[in-house]
Amino acid sequence: MSYYGLDQLRESMVKILNPAKGETAGSGFIIRSDGYLITCHHVIYLLDRLIVEYQGQEYEAQWCEALSNPDVDIAILKITIENAPAVPIINPQQLSTSVTIYGFPPSQQKYFPEGINFSAPTIRPSAPVKILPTYRIQTVTATNPWNQLPQEQSTFLSHRIDTKVESGTSGGAVFAEDLGGVVGVIQCSKRDESYLIRWDNCLESLDALGLEPEKNAVCQFLEAVKSYSKLVLDSVKQGMTDKSYNRYP
């Protein structure tokens, strides 16, 4: 299994801008090399325009209504770009490893203009999270298609992360280095805990884009087994070689 780390992840990260205020509204990341990216719906629901900054350049983004789902706080956007490095999406059935969250909180921009990572040593399953109370403003006056709130009863499947993640990071990637991929989208909180929006909330959209996170998780597992088996076999061969040398001092 080839190594995938923070340097590679950073190449896929994007800022969602708020042109009206001249600031960062939230974070996102490339999920397909032809410019499809994902963020939280609550990052964009009040914006008049969808402007994305990627690799220091600004792009007008299109909201992919058929792929997005405000009722699980997921927005998928499209910018005109080719050959962008996309994150490896994986959806393990069990998630108990430590994770790293990457995003663009405005409070850290002075020191970390290319984004900052937050470490979360523990992550565990959570009860479904009700979405609407997490929206800071519950009145929408703009009339673009994405200017909408989730339904009153809407929830999303989640994992709880016992780490405070600063505002502006919402929509950023939750990266499991041990597993070699991104396991979900972060939704920030004012409390000392945050919540990961699981890929299970938007599998149909990911499948429609040909990303198949379930298949990716299996492939990652099989690659890991293959690598481990090779390591064991090499060790056995080395041991046999060492013994053959020892027979003839």
| Tokens read off for 212 | 């198949």
Residue 74, φ and ψ in degrees, nearest 5: -120, 130
The one-letter amino acid code at 158 reads S
Cα dihedral 240, 242, 245, 246, rounded to 10, equals -100
Mean pLDDT, residues 132-138: 91
Mean pLDDT, residues 140-169: 93
| Tokens read off for 249 | 């001092």
pLDDT band (50, 70, 90) for residue 214: low
Residue 83: what pLDDT?
96
Residue 226: what pLDDT?
44
| Stretch (H or E) spanning 32 | strand 23-32
Supply the DSSP string of 77-107, one letter for each residue: EE-S-SSPPPPPB---S---S-EEEEE--GG
Task: Please give the domain boundaries of the chain with CATH numbers for all domains.
Answer: 6-221 (2.40.10.120)
Residue 241: what pLDDT?
53
Angle among Cα 35, 189, 137 to the nearest 5 degrees reads 80
pLDDT band (50, 70, 90) for residue 237: low
Q: Residue for token digits 């999920």?
A: 31
Q: How far is CA 11 from the centre of its chain?
A: 13
Of 221, 99, 102, give the one whose Cα is nearest residue 166: 102
Distance CA 73, CA 197 (A): 8
Residue 236: what pLDDT?
54
Q: With 50 as the cut, is the pLDDT of residue 82 above it? A: yes
CA-based torsion, 178, 180, 184, 188: positive or negative: positive
Residues in the chain: 249
| Higher-pLDDT residue of 193, 70 | 70
CB-CB contact of 28 with 87 (8 Å): no
